[in-house]
């Protein structure tokens, strides 16, 4: 027995063809047109031990669950749920859809993209698998939303297919050792990272080693990224702001210079200063909450400096 899970458009995956050819009967489950597939209605199915196939859009429908319980193989059409997500986004932006969604543009959605990205980052840091799954969906929603808005542009329209197509071309072009055979410049993860940057430099015809660095990212991450980029171009670490005896400001001149030096040198040492700082900040936040809970349990509502010290986690 085989259960084939398809999307709203019943495109059968290639992996299901052998089962379909050898099936004594094919049944159409929830959301599937029986006549279109030349299949029987799912209500006619009864377990006889024969090799049968159920095609359904809902893996949780009773017959599918029953067949899986009897040992049926489950074959899912990869990526079809993405097509469903794109179709839902199209419906929300179309006449008769959601008024709020219809009013949004790229600029109005910026705050949500940032918020959802940070919520995803928090789920990763917390190791929360359920939240990770949800937040990945929320970030995907932002991609679908922006792509749909872009498709409506009167002068330079492009949609989710163009976005995905460009991504495929980039991934294939940046991995010649995978898609075009052996690349002598790539022999481990580190050399692949360097090769990626080299190919990007040529592809985008960049004139500077720091072209393409997103200056809108958090300052600690920005300092680390800039240091990493220039290091690959042979830039000496002593010329980094606050890092040595170069012509720039010394490490003690101002807080910004000292912070840049710490972030840049940490990145060059193979650490991620943004992640490291976030980890310390999250620990500090947890300790503050623990101290406040401890103080409340002791009947202390307004904490003095001594109270903070007394209730601070050891």
- Predicted local distance difference test score (pLDDT) of residue 248: 46
- Predicted local distance difference test score (pLDDT) of residue 189: 67
Quick one: tokens of 250?
Answer: 């010394």
Give the pLDDT confidence of 114-150 residue by residue, as tens digits.
999 999 999 999 999 999 999 999 999 999 999 999 9
Which residues of the chain are under the pLDDT cut of 50?
Answer: 245-249
- Predicted local distance difference test score (pLDDT) of residue 127: 93
- Same-domain pairing of 47 and 127: no
Cα(first)–Cα(last) distance of the chain, in Å?
59
CA-to-CA separations, 130 to 67, 116, 120, 134, in angstroms, rounded: 27, 15, 11, 6
- Predicted local distance difference test score (pLDDT) of residue 203: 66
Residue pair 173/203 in contact by the 8 Å Cβ criterion: yes
- Same-domain pairing of 11 and 70: yes
Asked if residue 194 belongs to a domain, the reply is: no
- Predicted local distance difference test score (pLDDT) of residue 197: 67
Residue pair 274/220 in contact by the 8 Å Cβ criterion: yes
- Same-domain pairing of 230 and 248: yes
Give the pLDDT confidence of 45-82 residue by residue, as tens digits.
999 889 999 999 889 999 999 999 999 999 988 787 78
Asked if residue 35 belongs to a domain, the reply is: yes
What are the residues facing 26 on neighbouring strands?
53
Residues 6+ apart with CB under 8 A from 124: 132
- Same-domain pairing of 144 and 98: yes
Can you tell me the distance from the alpha carbon of 91 to that of 97, in angstroms, rounded to the nearest whole number?
6
Looking up residue 155, the CATH number of its domain turns out to be: 1.10.287.1080
Number of domains in the chain: 4
- Same-domain pairing of 37 and 101: no
Can you tell me the distance from the alpha carbon of 85 to that of 211, in angstroms, rounded to the nearest whole number?
34
Quick one: tokens of 236?
Answer: 């000496």
3-state DSSP percent of the chain in helix, strand and coil, to 5: 55, 5, 35
- Predicted local distance difference test score (pLDDT) of residue 117: 92
- Predicted local distance difference test score (pLDDT) of residue 238: 85
Backbone φ and ψ of 238, nearest 5°: -70, -10
Cα-Cα-Cα-Cα torsion 19, 25, 26, 27, nearest 10 degrees, comes to: -140
Domain extent for 64: 2-77
What are the residues facing 52 on neighbouring strands?
25
- Same-domain pairing of 246 and 286: no
């Amino acid at each position: 027995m085989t259960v084939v899970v398809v999307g709203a458009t019943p495109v059968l995956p290639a992996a299901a063809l052998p089962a379909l050819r050898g099936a004594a009967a094919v049944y159409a489950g929830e959301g599937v047109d029986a006549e279109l597939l030349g299949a029987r209605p799912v209500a006619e199915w009864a377990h006889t031990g024969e090799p049968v196939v159920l095609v359904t859009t809902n893996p949780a429908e009773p017959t599918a669950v029953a067949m899986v319980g009897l040992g049926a193989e489950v074959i899912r059409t990869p990526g079809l749920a993405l097509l469903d997500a794109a179709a839902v986004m199209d419906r929300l932006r179309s006449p008769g859809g959601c008024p709020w969604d219809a009013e949004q543009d790229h600029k109005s959605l910026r705050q949500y993209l940032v918020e959802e990205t940070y919520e995803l980052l928090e789920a990763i840091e917390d190791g929360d698998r359920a939240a990770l799954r949800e937040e990945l969906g929320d970030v995907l929603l932002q991609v679908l939303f922006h792509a749909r808005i872009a498709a409506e542009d009167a002068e330079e329209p492009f949609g989710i297919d163009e976005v995905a197509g460009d991504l495929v071309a980039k991934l294939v072009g940046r991995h010649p050792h995978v898609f075009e055979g052996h690349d002598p410049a790539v022999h481990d993860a580190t050399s692949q990272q360097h090769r990626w940057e080299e190919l990007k430099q040529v592809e985008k015809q960049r004139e500077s080693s720091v072209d393409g660095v997103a200056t809108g990212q958090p300052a600690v991450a920005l300092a680390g990224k800039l240091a990493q980029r220039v290091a690959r171009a042979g830039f000496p670490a002593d010329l980094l702001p606050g890092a040595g005896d170069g012509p720039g400001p010394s490490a003690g001149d101002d807080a910004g210079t000292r912070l840049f030096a710490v972030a840049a040198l940490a990145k060059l040492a193979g650490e991620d200063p943004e992640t490291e700082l976030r980890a310390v900040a999250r620990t500090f936040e947890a300790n503050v909450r623990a101290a406040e809970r401890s103080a409340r349990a002791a009947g202390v509502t307004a904490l003095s400096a001594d109270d903070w010290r007394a209730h601070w986690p050891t």
